[in-house]
């Protein structure tokens, strides 16, 4: 095997990878503001979802079931979007997928919010620290 042909193969391989990467970046940049908007709306819906449903505390299982149903339904639509019947609605399904990603990330981060607060309360009691939020002004 000739070293000139092997270096030409390596160069053509790298050029192919760069061309694929460039095409993927161009595809991601298409409708970027709308994608970011749907992602942020999904993140906002998480806050509303967790606040409104979690008010009473007795609907936690139903709210978790509703969240799973919505996320799995959108995931099923996304996977079936390659069918010809759903080709016209592909843009809407893609935007719903970004909304779903925002919702999922928001629920993930929201779970840490409550867990960290409980952990810090336990840490204060272990260390016998008293935190005075409003110290007297002399």
**Does residue 113 belong to any structural domain of this protein?**
yes
Sequence-separated (6 or more) residues with CB below 8 Å from residue 38: 95, 96, 98, 99, 102
99 found inside a domain: yes
- Residues spanned by the domain of 21: 1-30
Q: Is residue 73 part of a domain?
A: yes
CA 72 vs CA 78, 100, 135: distances in Å: 10, 9, 50
pLDDT band at 133 (very low <50, low <70, confident <90, very high): low
Q: 105-132 pLDDT, tens per residue? A: 888 887 777 655 555 565 555 555 555 5
Same domain, 4 and 71: no
Question: Are 6 and 66 in a shared domain?
Answer: no
Q: What is the token pair recorded at 131?
A: 């935190």
Q: Are residues 58 and 1 in the same domain?
A: no
pLDDT for 41 equals 92
Residue 46 lies in a domain: yes
Computed from CA positions of residues 39, 41, 44, 49, in that sequence, does the dihedral angle turn out positive or negative?
negative
Q: Are residues 106 and 69 in the same domain?
A: yes
Helix extents (H) in the chain: 3-29, 32-53, 60-79, 90-127
Residue range 42-97, pLDDT digits in tens:
889 888 877 777 676 677 777 778 888 888 888 888 777 556 666 677 788 888 88
Whether 98 is covered by a domain: the verdict is yes
Is 135 inside a domain boundary? no
What's this model's pTM, rounded to 2 decimal places? 0.61
- The sign of the dihedral angle between the CA atoms of 83, 87, 89, 91 is positive
């Amino acid at each position: 095997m000739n070293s000139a042909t092997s270096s030409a193969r390596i160069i053509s391989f790298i050029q192919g990878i760069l061309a694929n990467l460039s095409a993927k970046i161009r595809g991601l940049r298409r409708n970027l503001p709308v994608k970011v908007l749907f992602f942020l709306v999904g993140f906002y819906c998480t806050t509303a979802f967790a606040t409104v449903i979690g008010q009473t505390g007795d609907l936690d299982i139903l709210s978790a079931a509703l969240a799973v149903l919505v996320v799995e339904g959108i995931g099923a639509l996304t996977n079936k979007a390659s069918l010809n019947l759903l080709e016209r609605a592909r843009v809407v399904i893609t935007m719903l997928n970004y909304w779903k990603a925002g919702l999922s990330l928001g629920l993930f981060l929201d779970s840490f919010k409550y867990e960290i607060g409980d952990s810090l309360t336990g840490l204060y009691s272990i260390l016998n620290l008293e935190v005075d939020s409003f110290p007297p002004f002399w």
